[in-house]
Structure 1
Amino acid sequence: MLVSESNLNYELQDIYILDNGTFYFFDNFIISEVKEGVLFDWEMAQEIIAIAESYYGVGQKIAYISNRVHPYSLVPQDWLKFFKAKNFISAFAVVSYSQQERSNILLERLFFKSKIKKFFDLEEAVKWAISEQLKYDDRKTTA
């Protein structure tokens, strides 16, 4: 399900339409919908990081949901670059609609230091992301 087809539009704060996909910004999470056939690499990730830092502030952690409505490829080794440079993700979810995407998640888990939660329903992923962000915020305030 596309974000535009969901009931999430009332919570939507901003949309960034880039060459590689559309990124939906909410209060404390981002949903990405990468275009079909894109090879999502470190350079593209840097563009999203810069937008997120400009939008939420440098050092602010947020939840990230990859809504994989279109098939695309990732450069798994670039996860290592991402975490060496900046880690602004408090929780990471993938919404998968195909068997191939489910297999890709297994590969990504080899490179991603934190847990990747997989879902088959966008709205369930959003509920989880909000819950995880609240847990992160609680840990931050009690530390």
Structure 2
Amino acid sequence: MKFEDSIFSKKYRYSKKSFDFGTYYFLDKIVIAEINYGVHFDEKKIAIVIESIFEHYETNCKLGYISNRLNSYSFEPDLWKKFFDEYNFIVASVSVCYTNMNLMNATIEKRFSKKNIKITNNLDDAFTWILSLKELN
């Protein structure tokens, strides 16, 4: 389910940022990503997203990240390690997976991350878990 079609888009204030590779939603302490079908999410795209996050929040923010995997896309798993070595603003993340392929990709990415990553199949669980984190309260 798209974030904008969920009850959470009515419950929480957010701003929306659209890129040619996907859409990002910036809530109070949560970033939600919905990457377009067939995109290869690489370092250049990560840099664009990070710049946008820092413009919206600031450079010393602490955020939860929800990857709402509505579509299949590719991502280099070793970029997770590089990303977390260089940046430290993501406290934890949730991958919401609707297909077995997305679940497999999220499981591989989780192995490369030093951060806490939860995998679920719905936005309800994602929000419940992210909002329960003491680092964001």
Fold equivalence (TM over 0.5): yes
- Whether contact under 8 Å (2:29, 2:136) holds in the other structure is no
1:73-92 Cα distance to aligned partner (Å, 9 max, x none) = 11111112212221210110
- CA distance in structure 2 between the aligned counterparts of 1:103 and 1:53, rounded to whole angstroms: 30
Partner of 2:93: 92
Tell me how far apart the structure 1 counterparts of residues 110 and 78 of structure 2 sit (CA, whole Å): 11
- CA–CA distance in structure 2, aligned partners of residues 83 and 91 of structure 1: 11
Rounded to whole Å, the distance in 2 between the matches of 1:126 and 1:110 is 22
1:99-118 correspondence runs (5 A): 99-118=100-119
**TM-score, with structure 2 as normaliser:** 0.93
Quote the Cα distance in structure 2 between the aligned partners of 1:12 and 1:30.
12
2:135 matched to which residue of 1? 136
Q: CA deviation at 1:57?
A: 1.0
Aligned residues of 1:22 and 1:33 also touching (Cα < 8 A) = yes
**Counterpart mapping for 1:23-34 below 5 A:** 23-34=24-35
Across the two proteins, how many residue pairs are aligned to each other?
136
- Distance in 2, Cα, partners of 1:73 & 1:137: 29
Contact 1:42 1:81 in 2 (8 A): no
* Bigger Rg, which one: 1
Return the offset for 1:137: 4.2
**Aligned residue for 2:9?**
9
After TM superposition, give the deviation of residue 43 of structure 1 in Å: 1.4
Moved over 2 A (4+): none
Alpha-carbon separation, structure 1, partners of 2:73 and 2:123: 18
Q: How does 1:27-66 map onto structure 2 within 5 Å?
A: 27-66=28-67
Give the 3-state SS of the residue equivalent to 2:77 in structure 1. coil
- Long gaps (5+) in structure 2: none
Q: Give SS of 1:136's match.
A: helix
Displacement after TM superposition at 1:123 (Å): 2.0
